[in-house]
Amino acid sequence: MNTVQLAQRLATRLNVRDTTLLEAEPALDVLAAINGGIQEYFAHAPSLYKRTTLSHALRAPETLSVTFTSKYANTVEDDTFATAMMGCTLRFDNGMADTVITGTNSVLDDWLHDDLTQPATVFYDVVPIQDVIEQILEPVRVHDATRANPTRLHRDERLRGGRARWRESGLEAFVTAEAGRPEAYYLEPVGGSQGGEPEFLLRVAPRPLVDYTIKFEAELGPRAVTFAELSIATTVGVPGNRIESILLPLCEAHLTASRFWRDPRAAGDVMGKAENLKGNRLRTMTGDIAPARNQMGTPAGF
C-alpha cells in the first residue's frame, strides 16, 4: 500500500465531501495520523525492523590556515571549514589548546592569542549522529584501506574528560596514543534540546592519521511521510502484510483527534482496537526472522 492509498483509506473516516480530494487541513490531520501510527508501530515492534548498518569515512588529517576575526572570538573567516569537518578536532601549530569545529566559520573555543592567523590540522575523528539514529549497536569497528581484520572499538566515556587517554598503567590503559589507529569511542552530546543537529558526535581515539572506515549497526527512527507524499505516492515503510491489520488501526486511533472525525461513537472502539494491537499483536511479532533449530543429538549432515 502506498501513501496515497493509506491516506484515502483514512479519509473515509472523516466528514469530508470527497475522500480522494481532501482539502489541505484535513489532509494535514491524515498526515499526522499516518506518522503517528508509523511511529507507534516501530515503537512497539521488535527492534530488528529498525536496524541497519551505517558506514562513515574517517579521513586522514588535513592542514589549513585559520584566521580569527579577533582575539577572544570563536569566529574565523567565512568558509574556512567544509561541512564535512563539523565536530572534528582542530589542532593549531602554535600550541594553543585543541578545539572543535562548530561551523564553516566557527570553532568551539575563543581565540586567546594576538596573532590571529595560524596554521592548523583538522583531525577527522568524529561521526555525526543525526536524530534519526535512535540507538547505536555494538560492535563499532574500523577498517583501514586494506582487507585486514577490522578493529573493534570499545566505548570509553572517560575519554570525554580529555585526560583518561593519558593513563598508561594497569588494565585501564586502553588508549595509549594521541593519534593512530582508533581503539575506542565515546559520545559527545551537541545540545539536541536547543535544536542542535547532529544530536551527538561519536568521537574516536586515538585520532586517525590515515583513512579509515567506521561501521556499526544502529536502530533508526521511522522516516516521516511528508505532505507532498499524500499527493505523490511513495511506499509506506511498513511491511505490506501488516498495513491493514496493524498500521491502519493505529493510524485511525490517532485520527480520532481530528475535528473532521465523522463518527464520535466509533472513536472508543477504534482506540480500543489500537490499544489491543499494541498490547498483544505487536508484542508477539517475531524478534528473529531466522531462528536456529535445536541441533542437540542431530546426526552430522542433517
Among 176, 226, 245, 276, binds other proteins (CB under 8 A): 226
Number of CB atoms found within 10 A of residue 260's CB: 17
Q: Using alpha carbons, list the distances in angstroms from residue 211 to 141, 150, 215, 224.
A: 14, 13, 13, 34
DSSP letter for each residue of 241-286: GGIIIIIHHHHHHHHTTSTTBS-HHHHHHHHHHHHHIIIIITTTS-
Our finding on whether 197 is near other proteins (CB under 8 A) is no
Cβ closer to other proteins: 8 or 74?
A: 8
Among 6, 27, 129, 277, binds other proteins (CB under 8 A): 27
Our finding on whether 194 is near other proteins (CB under 8 A) is no
Tell the smallest beta-carbon distance from residue 3 to other proteins (Å).
13
- C-alpha gyration radius of the chain: 26
Our finding on whether 288 is near other proteins (CB under 8 A) is no
Tell the smallest beta-carbon distance from residue 19 to other proteins (Å).
12
Cβ closer to other proteins: 65 or 231?
A: 231
Number of CB atoms found within 10 A of residue 7's CB: 24
Number of residues that bind other proteins (CB under 8 A): 14
What single-letter DSSP state applies at residue 15?
Answer: -
Which among 55, 227, 34, 202 has a CA at the least distance from the CA of 127? 202
Among 232, 245, 268, 279, binds other proteins (CB under 8 A): 232
Our finding on whether 82 is near other proteins (CB under 8 A) is no
Q: Are 209 and 179 a contacting pair, CB within 8 Å?
A: yes
Cell of 193: 534540546
Interface with other proteins by CB under 8 A: which range of 118-126, 134-142, 164-172, 227-235?
Answer: 227-235
Tell the smallest beta-carbon distance from residue 243 to other proteins (Å).
22
Among positions 122-141, residues that touch other proteins (CB under 8 A) are: none
What single-letter DSSP state applies at residue 235?
Answer: B
Query: Residue type for 77, please?
Result: E
Tell me the per-residue interface mask from 96 to 125 with other proteins, x by CB under 8 A, - otherwise.
------------------------------
**Under the rule (CB under 8 A), what is the footprint of other proteins?**
18, 21-25, 27-28, 226-228, 230-232
